[in-house]
Homo-oligomer: A and B are copies of this chain.
Amino acid sequence: MSAKRLLVVGAHSADFVWRAAGVIAKHTRAGGEARVISLSYGERGESGELWKVPGQTIENVKKARHAEASEAAAAVGASFESLDLGDYPLIGGREAIDTLAEIIRDWQPHIVLTHPDKDPFNPDHPVAHEVVSQARLLTSGAVVEAGFRTAPPTEFLVFEPHQPELCGFVPSVFVDITEVFEAKKEAMAAMRAQVYLQQYYTERAEHRGNHARKVTGDKEIRQAEAFQRIVPNVVGAL
């Protein structure tokens, strides 16, 4: 039997690190495959530190971001690639959707993670949601055979945005990432252009751990990540 495949799509190259590195590590440690695709490198909107370097060029910034994100992905057992569509603004539209749809048809992920559909603080995150959502729908096979190449339907969840309440984010599932938290920290440490977020998301993971303890009474949980399901999942029993 082939491994379970997890696809994580971010608008910028570092999004997956803060929001999903833990769940990726849990997935790959359990024998699953994980693939990170960033629609852009976040070379304009999220690379402020890199632009402080005198004589900096956009190609250098992208190269640096690619190296950092690849290192971060490796720390949690995932591959990294970028569609390099540009950021601030990220342009979605037909071509981006088709490219991603083709990737989904080829790789056939079981689970897809991306940004929520709303973010009053970021112009690119909702665009990423729309691209992923459309690509996923275009490839989902109906129960009968459809008239085009399809992939099986996937679970579909969004990861936690920076200001959850203002993005309409309501957690429906917490993933306990206690046992892989060192790997997440390593992934975060690789994002040298956004060093100020490492402490924030370490604390955030501990807060979500607190919430997960409260929900379960399980005192062993230290860190967690929160996700919201966009479509229900199907289980054999509760």
Contacts and interface: CB of A to CB of B under 8 A. Distances in A.
A143 B219 contact: yes
Given A153-B216, A237-B23, A166 B173 contact: no
B138 A238 contact: no
The size class of the interface chain A forms with chain B is 35 or more
Interface in A169-212: 169-176, 194, 196, 200, 203-204, 206-207, 210-212
Interface in A94-125: 94, 97, 111, 113, 120-123
A60 B121 CA distance: 41
Q: How many copies of the shown chain assemble into the complex?
A: 6
Give the interface SS of chain A, mostly helix, strand, loop or mixed.
mixed
B196 A203 contact: no
Contacts of A120: 133, 137, 156, 230-231
Given A137-B123, A143-B214, A207-B200, A26 B172 contact: no
Interface of A: 6, 23, 26-27, 30, 32, 43-52, 58, 61, 88-89, 91, 94, 97, 111, 113, 120-123, 133-134, 137-138, 140-148, 152-153, 155-157, 162-166, 169-176, 194, 196, 200, 203-204, 206-207, 210-219, 221, 224, 226-227, 229-238
